[in-house]
Chains A and B, each alone.
Chain A
Amino acid sequence: MIKISSVVKKYDDLKVLDELSFEIKKGSIFGLLGVNGAGKSTILSVLNGLTSIESGEIEVFGLDLKKELTQIKNISSIVPQNLAFYEQLTVKENLDFFKNVQNGTKESYEKALHVNSLEEILNQKASTLSGGQKRRLNIAIGLLNDPQIIYFDEPTVGIDPKSRNEILESIKGYKKLGITVVYTSHYMNEVEMICDEVAIISHGKLIAQETNLQNLEKHFLELTKESHV
């Protein structure tokens, strides 16, 4: 289980996470829903140790984030919203590099390759890939350390519907492998399609957390109306 308790994160005087608390069950696909600027990416950065918090407690699979960050990083992986690989290198060179940096196994390498259908474009320079192919490479890199938890930060932004559906289908497949998935999005239909449980956050605060996704819809609609106003 991932336990987030009363987490506060500030950028200067701006509170981006405000006493945020929720729990994520092991082996589930957990959705974090919110409009832009709600604090979704920040909580993922915090969970990956990329940014520190002012107060609060976080426990990831029994490990204290403050004390056991190295171990937490070893069992988790983040697929950032922005593409994060080397455009000048080929797909294979990127995968080899990120695998070796994390001491990944041959099995995890093969799995990442297969799940994301990258076999055909291995020798292609990353800069020449299509938007969907780049997204798949971005995701594949996140699988190379054989993680127990994967954090997806809006992985479908800016891609065509076909590639989007392929990515969502592959994410559903991770659950079967026993991987816990945390998925952020600002699209209700995406989280409905793949998530077991969803939390809605706004201005760094938890608005609702539900396993019955139909109940969430009214909360989210209110939220989006507010943000438009």
Chain B
Amino acid sequence: MFSAMVKKEFLLVLRDKRALAVLFLMPALFILIISVAMRDVFTQNSVIFEITIVDLEKSKVTKEMINDISKNRSFQVADNANIVITIPQKYSQSKKRLKIEIKDSLKSDEIELFKAKLLKDITNLKLKIIKNRLTEFSDEAGAAIDNISLESDELFELKYNQSEEIPNSTQQSVPSWIVFGMFFMITPISTVFINERKQNTLSRLNSMNVSVFSMVLSKIVPYLFIAQIQAFVMIAVGMFIVPLFDTPALAINGSVLALVFLSFALSLSAVGLASLIAVSSNSTEQASTIGGIMSILLGAIGGVMVPKFIMPDFMQTLANISPMSWGLDGFLDIFLRGGGIAMVLNEALMLMLFGSIALGISMVMLHARIKKGFE
């Protein structure tokens, strides 16, 4: 009996082309658009200052400095740029300062960043000037300057918490829209449940000794299956389509098994919530409205719309109430931190618990509504 019910649900799902298009196209497009649009925001070395350098000294030393600046990834040398750096005459032989003119406005933190990036190249220049002076007196003293390095790795050892690692735009958007896309199943699942009532087949099945447990379970099986395909299609978009738009490709640093496990847990929570909304709604319009609002709210709270790491602390704490946040954290553990099953176990168990409770309540509610004769 159960296999017949699952087969029927698969047929109904596969014939609903519009629902399938929404489930696959919507998150795929979001991944593509958001990854590309947010590429520079998420890339920490992404700030590039376009500069014009006017060298009035034209010495070997200043040419070397210009060469160093050109190699610095934070700067792009161009004509008529917004920032003009003028090296005055006899700069290397005097206490004259560089003149920097910024034509358009820059934010104060951008100016501080610009100064920090430029300081290294100017310090290098100053060291070269000192070296040249010292070499006039002693080659040995001049050579000592070569031992001074301004590379940060050689100046200090930085230790930081790996879990605080910030994702790039693809690493953030792929899991975000996988999670959101799965919860978007609320609409088609609700439609299937409510159509069963509208078409009077729910009552007919009830007259045929079909249990509520079988009815609900058979409805969610195809969607659990579709959710897995959906997740892996979105991952493929992140890996193969997004890089075509000059945006970092998604790399799965962690375990694929953990990915499957988490994806299943997430889909269980999504279909659980969808079933709950479906059985408590009286029409597809009502279910779509409630489902849509709930998806957007859970997504906004859970870090889908705005990444959690840029939220204030209290919002990050609040995010933990959203199952979308649990799923997102789990995916980031796998994509970003090379996580395996152990690392995502907590999130996956919470998702499965949430989904199971929601499904349980759905079954009880459906049973009660059938008994009450809601048709």
* Chain A residues near B (Cβ < 8 Å): 45, 48-52, 70, 73-74, 77-78, 80, 82-89, 93, 96-98, 100-103, 141, 145
Decide if the interface of chain B is mainly helix, strand, loop or mixed: helix
CB distance from A41 to the nearest CB of B (A): 11
Can you name the residue of chain B whose Cβ is closest to the Cβ of A9? Answer: B373
Q: For B201, what are the chain A residues with a Cβ–Cβ distance below 8 Å?
A: 84-86
Select the residue from B12, B200, B207, B370 with max chain A CB neighbours within 10 A: B207
* Chain B residues near A (Cβ < 8 Å): 1, 3-5, 7-8, 11-12, 15-16, 199-201, 203-210, 370-371, 373
Question: Quick one: given A86-B12, A89-B12, A145-B208, are A50 and B203 in contact (CB under 8 Å)?
Answer: yes
Q: List 24 A-B contacts (CB under 8 A).
A: A49-B206, A50-B370, A50-B373, A51-B373, A73-B207, A80-B203, A80-B204, A83-B200, A84-B199, A85-B201, A85-B204, A86-B12, A88-B11, A88-B12, A88-B16, A93-B8, A96-B4, A97-B7, A98-B204, A98-B208, A101-B205, A101-B208, A102-B1, A145-B208
CB distance from A153 to the nearest CB of B (A): 11
Can you name the residue of chain B whose Cβ is closest to the Cβ of A96? Answer: B4
CB distance from B352 to the nearest CB of A (A): 29
Contact of B208 among A51, A86, A87, A102 (CB under 8 A): A102
Q: For B373, what are the chain A residues with a Cβ–Cβ distance below 8 Å?
A: 45, 50-51
Q: For A100, what are the chain B residues with a Cβ–Cβ distance below 8 Å?
A: 1, 3-4
- Contact at A73–B209, with CB atoms within 8 Å? yes
- Contact at A48–B207, with CB atoms within 8 Å? yes
Can you name the residue of chain B whose Cβ is closest to the Cβ of A80? Answer: B200
- Contact at A78–B204, with CB atoms within 8 Å? yes
CB distance from B196 to the nearest CB of A (A): 9
Decide if the interface of chain A is mainly helix, strand, loop or mixed: loop
Select the residue from A52, A77, A98 with max chain B CB neighbours within 10 A: A98
Docked complex Cα distance between A85 and B204 (Å):
8
CB distance from B195 to the nearest CB of A (A): 8
Docked complex Cα distance between A80 and B205 (Å):
12
Q: For A96, what are the chain B residues with a Cβ–Cβ distance below 8 Å?
A: 4
Contact of B199 among A50, A86, A97 (CB under 8 A): A86
Q: For B206, what are the chain A residues with a Cβ–Cβ distance below 8 Å?
A: 49-50
Can you name the residue of chain B whose Cβ is closest to the Cβ of A79? Answer: B204
Docked complex Cα distance between A86 and B4 (Å):
14
CB distance from B64 to the nearest CB of A (A): 75
CB distance from A95 to the nearest CB of B (A): 11
- Contact at A97–B200, with CB atoms within 8 Å? no
Question: Quick one: given A51-B373, A86-B199, A87-B199, are A97 and B208 in contact (CB under 8 Å)?
Answer: no
Docked complex Cα distance between A211 and B206 (Å):
33
Can you name the residue of chain B whose Cβ is closest to the Cβ of A72? Answer: B209
Question: Quick one: given A50-B203, A80-B204, are A86 and B8 in contact (CB under 8 Å)?
Answer: yes
